[in-house]
Amino acid sequence: MVEDFDNSTSDTALSRVPIQFLIYIVNQTNCTSKPTISSTLPACSPIEVGIAFNFSLTIFQGCPGTTITDVFTMPPQNVYKVNFTQNGTDDVWILAETWTPTSLQLGSQVYCAVATDRYSDQYIF
């Protein structure tokens, strides 16, 4: 239960909200390799304001027979996912994205990505 109070000496809660959360239990796996992520972006890539820039992430499954269940990204504003596909029958997934930066985005930008496989193993890029 989460409660908020008028001040630090008050004994009467202004409101109460019950907390619920979901626990997801998975079977233990023999796979000890996490997914990995690489990118077509070289370090310190210069990208021009107002011009669309296309790039992709390549996600390699940690072990054969697993699948990538989620790729969560925290990109700069105006980055859009174009496509997310498995590369044939390989254990490789491609996330294509496009970005058209604005003049408000001059300077360095941070891009983060997390790939999760069906065993809930994660790799942070």
* Cβ proximity of 26 and 122 under 8 Å: no
* Structure token pair of residue 11: 């004994």
Please give the Cα distance from 125 to 114 (Å, whole number): 6
pLDDT for res 74:
86
Per-residue pLDDT tens over the stretch 56-115: 988 888 777 777 878 888 888 888 888 888 887 678 888 899 999 999 988 888 888 888
Q: Model confidence at 40, in pLDDT bands (50, 70, 90)?
A: confident
Give the start-to-end residue ranges of the domains of the chain: 29-124
Q: How far is 121 from 105, CA to CA, in rounded Å?
A: 33
Q: Which residue has the tokens 């700069």?
A: 76
pLDDT in tens, 44-58: 778 889 999 999 988
Question: Of 34, 36, 33, 31, nearest to 93 (Cα)?
Answer: 36
Q: What is the architecture, at CATH level 2, of domain 29-124?
A: Sandwich (2.60)
Residue carrying the six token digits 């174009």: 82
Q: Report residue 85: phi and psi, to 5°.
A: -135, 155
pLDDT, mean of residues 113-118: 82
